[in-house]
């Protein structure tokens, strides 16, 4: 209803009608919250305006978010850890992928004589075939061996080889009619080897392992056999056959195996 009592349009709800007197205004004013003693007196806001909002004391004055600095530190730590892991991993891969070390065998040149060999008096085919030098040893003497000739050899020689110092090797060589006769005579020489020689205290601990025995081959065929032993007084002895020939070499035990291997017959 309108003020005149006639029907009229409804009015939208609005703010309450202002009081008509100061006493009524005083009665309708909401109570004011007490102000803490430590806080400064706030100026009374003008009627109809919202009170000013105090800044959050925890918020930095510069406006930078509080989470920014810890995030930066965390990022630096993660990057540093990634770099360290990459370095360690790459170092491990290099070690794992490195090719294994290959053992290298160094071949030393064969020793040669320091003295000249003497002329051998024998002129037969067998005598001429005998060597005048073997490793560091050179022929020093040569003579017919009557003992082996008496044992059935067609011809035989006793010869000495010297290294120019105190080293001496004595070689007895003989030739028989058949390989069977040569093998039988060689067996008598091997039977005279000491069975349990007393090692020489002055012998080198790195010397050859004795006794030794095996086959003598010429090409792919077996031509004879050999046996090498330690006599026990610092000397070694080697006996071998090659077809119809028989050889016996006696010399320093540390050289006897090499001397036998280097002998061309």
pLDDT tens-place string over residues 27-50: 455 555 555 544 444 444 445 555
Q: Is residue 240 domain-resident?
A: yes
Find the domain containing 167 and state its range.
Answer: 125-197+208-262
* 203 touches 234 (CB < 8 A): yes
Tell me if 250 is assigned to some domain. Answer: yes
Alpha carbon 159 to chain centroid distance? 50
Q: Is 262 exposed, middle or buried (0-12, 13-18, 19+ CB in 10 A)?
A: middle
**Residue 38 falls inside a structural domain:** no
Collapsing DSSP states into helix, strand and coil, what is residue 248?
strand
Q: Quote the CA–CA distance of 140 and 226 in Å, as a whole number.
A: 25
Tokens representing 225 are 């056999």
Q: Do 216 and 242 form a contact (C-beta atoms < 8 A)?
A: yes
Q: Is pLDDT above 60 for 165?
A: yes
Q: What is the CATH number of the domain that holds 158?
A: 3.40.1000.20
Residue 78 in domain: no
Residues 130 and 98: their CA atoms lie apart, in Å, by 53
For residues 19 and 125, which has the higher predicted lDDT (pLDDT)? Answer: 125
User: Which DSSP letter does residue 155 get?
Assistant: E
Tokens of 246: 């028989």
pLDDT at 70: 65
Alpha carbon distance 236, 147 (integer Å): 21
Give this prediction's pTM.
0.60
For residue 219, what are its two tokens? 């090409």
In a domain? residue 158: yes
217 part of a folded domain? yes
Cβ atoms < 10 Å from Cβ of 256: 25
Q: Residue 25: its pLDDT value, please? A: 46
Average pLDDT over all residues of the chain: 77
Q: Which two tokens stand for residue 248?
A: 């016996």
In a domain? residue 82 = no
Question: What's the number of domains the chain is made of?
Answer: 1
DSSP 192-204: TS-SSPPPPTTS-
Task: Please report whether residue 231 resides in a domain.
Answer: yes
The SS3 assignment for 162 reads strand
Q: 44-53, 59-68, 201-210, 231-240 — which is least confidently predicted? A: 44-53
């Amino acid at each position: 209803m309108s003020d005149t009592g006639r029907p009229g349009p409804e009015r939208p709800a609005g703010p309450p009608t202002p009081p008509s007197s100061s006493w009524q205004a005083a009665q309708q004013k909401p109570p004011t919250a007490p102000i803490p003693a430590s806080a400064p007196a706030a100026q009374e806001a003008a009627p109809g305006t919202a009170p000013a909002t105090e800044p959050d004391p925890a918020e930095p004055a510069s406006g930078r978010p509080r989470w920014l600095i810890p995030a930066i530190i965390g990022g630096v730590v993660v990057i540093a850890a990634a770099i360290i892991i990459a370095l360690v991993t790459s170092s491990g891969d290099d070690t794992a992928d490195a090719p294994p070390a290959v053992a290298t065998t160094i071949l030393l040149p064969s020793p040669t004589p320091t003295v000249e060999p003497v002329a051998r008096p024998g002129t037969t085919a067998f005598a001429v075939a005998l060597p005048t030098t073997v490793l560091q040893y050179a022929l020093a003497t040569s003579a017919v061996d009557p003992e082996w000739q008496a044992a059935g050899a067609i011809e035989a020689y006793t010869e000495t080889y010297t290294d120019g110092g105190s080293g001496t090797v004595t070689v007895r060589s003989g030739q028989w009619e058949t390989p069977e006769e040569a093998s039988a005579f060689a067996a008598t020489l091997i039977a005279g080897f000491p069975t349990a020689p007393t090692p020489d205290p002055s012998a080198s601990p790195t010397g050859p392992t004795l006794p030794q025995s095996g086959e003598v081959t010429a090409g792919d065929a077996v031509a004879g056999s050999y046996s090498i032993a330690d006599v026990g007084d610092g000397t070694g002895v080697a006996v071998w056959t090659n077809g119809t020939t028989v050889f016996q070499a006696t010399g320093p035990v540390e050289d006897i195996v090499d001397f036998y291997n280097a002998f061309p017959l």
